[in-house]
Structure 1
Amino acid sequence: MATEQRPPSRIERRERTQHRILAAARRQFAESGYDRTTIRSIATEAETDPGLIMRYFGSKEALFNEVATIASDEPLGETPEQVAESLLDSLAGKLATDSAGTLAMLRSMLTRPEAAEEVRAAISEQQRLAADALDGTDAGLRIGLIGAISLGTIIGRELLGLDGVAEAEPAELINVLRPAVHALTYGEPMPPPTAQPQDP
């Protein structure tokens, strides 16, 4: 005789509902940003009541903070090569298909000062850790340029859909960027251009 499946407990039902709410919020904040996403639209997608969302999370801002994040990075290493590869790995993670939380933060940063500050703080902390591991008085500038390149790559691919960048796989983008990132972490100047012979 088949064993009857017990109905989910109250705690299990609540966890499932919260999971649907978070998934819907993460997707909508990533696609539409903070201002254009509403509690009602999230509730509709999550198949729940708007009041229940407010009960679980308190406010739209609290729900946004729950799902929109810039992930903290692991230690970057102690040599230019280790720093370069760590920064490239970090970028690869942010380009992954499950980066909805990062996209939600980036899409909202132009209209929501708190989001812009969190993005700036996360990038600045990564830059500080990286610059401490590099030589040269311009280490901060070089790491800042890597940060700008990384942020531009994410925005160009995920938000603007730039030709070439949008269609490329994350691994392909990382391979193309690798020489430039390594050059910036090492900080060795390129040789001056060879003078062209003048026409007689």
Structure 2
Amino acid sequence: MKAVFIDRDGTIGGSDQVEYPGEFELFPHVRDSIDQLKKSGLLICSFTNQPGISRGEATKEDFEVELKGFGFDSVYLCPHQHNEGCNCRKPSIGMLEQAAKENGLNLKECVVIGDRWTDMMAAQKVGCKKVLVKTGAGEASFSKYQSNEYYGEWAEVSLDYVASDFIEAADWVKASL
């Protein structure tokens, strides 16, 4: 089975800042694009860092209910802070590995869609296709990529597609099936 891993904040809605469930709004037509991806036979997974959970600002369940309400089949989220040293916080690959194990996925047949370079780095490490959207933090990430501002492992990422928004990214994924 193939899957699409989709970042939340800045990719499907909100902004480049965290907005908690109840405040978060999808960008126009995102729900339709998620539904179309599902109709293509793809597993649709959320793939998101949410450190506010460990600070008590929201619960994992709040995010799961919200994201499943948007049409996601599975929710993979990291509740940890930057400095907690977990293996799930992007650019680490723990969420992708967990999803692969739980769903029998070959990650080389999967796609990651996100607006941050950490999304692309995690995808690169496991061999997923990488689609950067220019919404949220995506425009700044793409600008740094174009001007060769990334160094070390950050510079090792090669993008498969750059989309203006999630709708364009979803269209590219469907056309690539």
> TM-score if structure 1 supplies the norm length?
0.25
**Larger relative contact order (C-alpha < 8 A, sep ≥ 6)?**
2
Q: Which has the higher strand share?
A: 2
> TM-score if structure 2 supplies the norm length?
0.28
